Amino acid sequence: MGALSTYRAQAALAIRTSFSDRTNFVLLVLGMAVNNGFWLILWFLFFTGFRQVGGWRMGDLARLLGILYTLFGVATVFAGGYRDMAGAILRGEIDALLTQPKPVLARMLARESIASAWGDLSTGVLILAVSARLDLAGAALAVAAVAIGAVAWLSAGVIFSSLAFWVAGARSLSRDLMDFTLMFASYPGPIYGGWAKVAAFTVLPAGFVAIAPVDLVRRPSLEAAGIAVGAAAAYAALALAVFSLGLRRYRRGASPGS
């Protein structure tokens, strides 16, 4: 409970800090909302001509984008430290946290809140409310899908950022991997086949960030729930293991690349 209270306090401070420049905050949120709206319009025009892709229609794509934007917004507002965790490790900013008794990973995640992510969060909720046409049961499943996807997304961020314990160039590498994961997750699942599908469900866990959670909303079943929840739990366990292993290496004084 002490660790949870510390996380809440630090996350609340990070969020208040992101609000400090109101004009910049509003511009960032509006800019992201416009960007997301433009992407949704492009897909609307696409489905106007082609009607469906592998059984996915515009409503399914709206669910995908709504869930993806919402989970990204939740993760980046309330645990935005993952965005530059690799840089913090490489700069030695983790040293101050090692002298404190609270969990290092939780404090690193809570140390920053990205203002523009409120634009993702608001547009995601709006898309789900207006375009996805969810009933009450569907809305409950969408909330579960957002939670599952956010866990998978943050786990991927921790895994990629933890490469900084071993690789000196991990800051740009981790950001590139997260950007690729986000890109893969923003397209309908049926378009992937062969090695692209393997990559989307392994190295880049885009399939478990958005596609599997959306399948839970599209076609609810125990199998779909088991796949989505099991994958998120597995990635979370892997993230904790990789970070803990890297942290032990860091405590011993080993430098990246050595």
pLDDT in tens, 196-225: 888 888 888 888 999 899 999 988 999 999
What integer pLDDT is reported at residue 1 of this predicted model?
52
Gap between the Cα atoms of 106 and 108, Å rounded:
5
Residue-wise burial string across 76-85, b where 16 or more C-beta atoms lie within 10 A, e elsewhere: bbbbbbbbbb
Gap between the Cα atoms of 150 and 66, Å rounded:
13
What integer pLDDT is reported at residue 5 of this predicted model?
80
Q: Does 47 fall in a domain?
A: yes
In degrees and rounded to multiples of 5, residue 245 shows phi and psi of: -65, -45
User: Which pLDDT band, with edges at 50, 70 and 90, does 257 fall under?
Assistant: low
Residues 6 or more apart in contact with residue 249 via CB below 8 angstroms: 165, 166
The answer to whether residue 155 scores a pLDDT higher than 80 is: yes
How many structural domains comprise the chain?
1
Mean pLDDT computed over every residue of the chain: 90
Cβ atoms of 105 and 158 within 8 Å: the answer is yes
Q: Does 100 fall in a domain?
A: yes
Distances, alpha carbon 140 to alpha carbons 78, 88, 108, 192, in Å: 21, 36, 30, 28
Domain region containing 43: 2-251
Q: Does 256 fall in a domain?
A: no
pTM of the model: 0.92
Gap between the Cα atoms of 69 and 124, Å rounded:
5
- pLDDT tens-digit readout, 11-51: 999 999 999 888 999 999 999 999 998 998 999 899 888 88
